[in-house]
């Protein structure tokens, strides 16, 4: 039963291995903890026996304060909290948090979503994960120029272009990561502006800039401050307003 979750780490617990897991569908946030391998073995057995934790398996540990991830999870019914101080940093990301009784979910089996194997206990599946799945850091494709990691080779290659900048402008020598970025740059030399505004005579070299321009024709500004209700044409202007200028924040 895979579900999509939004992970948001608590600011107050930023430096610990815990945070909150928020279900996009249910809208409820729950605390989560990240476990070491030995701890995950222990807690998976514990959870299976006592049915009082939810265990969450993800492809990677959340590294930013606000990360969207698809997580596969299994419910184990009950309620339990663990002290944060006992939780070291670890990979792969395995998390647990106190459960909300999900009806008759105790009948659910545990499926390895990569190998499509079904297990009667979570610990059984966890064992399989450790032995058979490419579930360790080896699975990630690491950039040799920086510390970024990607789950697909294609994504990594695309990223590496941002270091190698293979697309060079013949007119000025400026280099870009993608051909279409170079294409957009060349328009700054030629003056070509293929994106025209339907409401006025202006034209733009870049579609995004036309889109931003279209907001200036809109009577209803898209971005509104939640405190003073002032509206803005760009998200950047709203952010700036909320950070420093809004009298009600």
Contact residues for DNA (CB under 7 A)? 148, 153-155, 157-159, 162, 174, 176-181, 183-185, 187-188, 202, 204-209, 211-213, 215-216, 232-237, 239-241, 245
Is residue 202 within 8 Å of residue 214, measured between CB atoms?
Answer: no
Minimum distance between the CB of residue 174 and DNA, rounded to whole angstroms? 6
Minimum distance between the CB of residue 178 and DNA, rounded to whole angstroms? 6
Q: Which is nearer to DNA, 131 or 229 (by Cβ)? A: 229
Cα 121 to Cα 44, 46, 110, 124, 173: the distances in Å are: 9, 11, 6, 5, 60
Q: Which is nearer to DNA, 13 or 215 (by Cβ)? A: 215
Cα 18 to Cα 8, 80, 83, 85, 95: the distances in Å are: 10, 14, 10, 10, 9
How many alpha carbons lie under 13 Å from residue 143 in its C-beta half-sphere? 17
Q: Which is nearer to DNA, 88 or 154 (by Cβ)? A: 154
User: For the chain, how big is the Rg over CA atoms in Å?
Assistant: 24
Minimum distance between the CB of residue 233 and DNA, rounded to whole angstroms? 4
The token pair that represents 129 in the structure block: 């994960």
Q: Which is nearer to DNA, 28 or 240 (by Cβ)? A: 240
Block residue for tokens 């690491």 = 142
Minimum distance between the CB of residue 139 and DNA, rounded to whole angstroms? 15
């Amino acid at each position: 039963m895979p579900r999509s979750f939004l992970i948001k780490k608590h600011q107050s617990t930023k430096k610990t291995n815990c945070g909150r897991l928020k279900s996009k569908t249910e809208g409820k946030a729950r605390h989560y903890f990240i476990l070491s391998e030995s701890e995950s073995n222990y807690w998976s057995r514990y959870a299976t026996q006592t049915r009082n934790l939810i265990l969450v398996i993800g492809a990677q540990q959340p590294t930013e304060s606000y990360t969207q991830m698809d997580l596969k999870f299994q419910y184990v019914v009950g309620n339990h909290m663990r002290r944060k101080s006992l939780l070291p940093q670890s990979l792969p990301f395995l998390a647990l948090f106190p459960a909300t009784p999900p009806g008759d979910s105790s009948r659910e089996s545990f499926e390895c979503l990569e190998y499509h194997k079904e297990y009667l206990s979570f610990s059984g599946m966890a064992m399989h994960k450790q032995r058979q799945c490419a579930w360790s850091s080896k699975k990630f494709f690491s950039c040799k120029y920086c510390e970024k990691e990607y789950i697909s080779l294609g994504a990594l290659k695309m990223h590496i272009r941002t270091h190698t900048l293979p697309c060079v402008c013949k007119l000025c020598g400026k280099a870009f990561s993608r051909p279409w970025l170079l294409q957009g740059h060349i328009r700054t030399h030629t003056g070509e502006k293929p994106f025209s505004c339907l409401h006025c005579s202006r034209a733009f070299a870049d579609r995004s800039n036309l889109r931003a321009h279209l907001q200036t024709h809109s009577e209803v500004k898209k971005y509104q401050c939640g405190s003073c209700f002032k509206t803005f044409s760009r998200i950047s202007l709203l952010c700036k307003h909320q950070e420093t200028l809004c009298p009600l924040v």
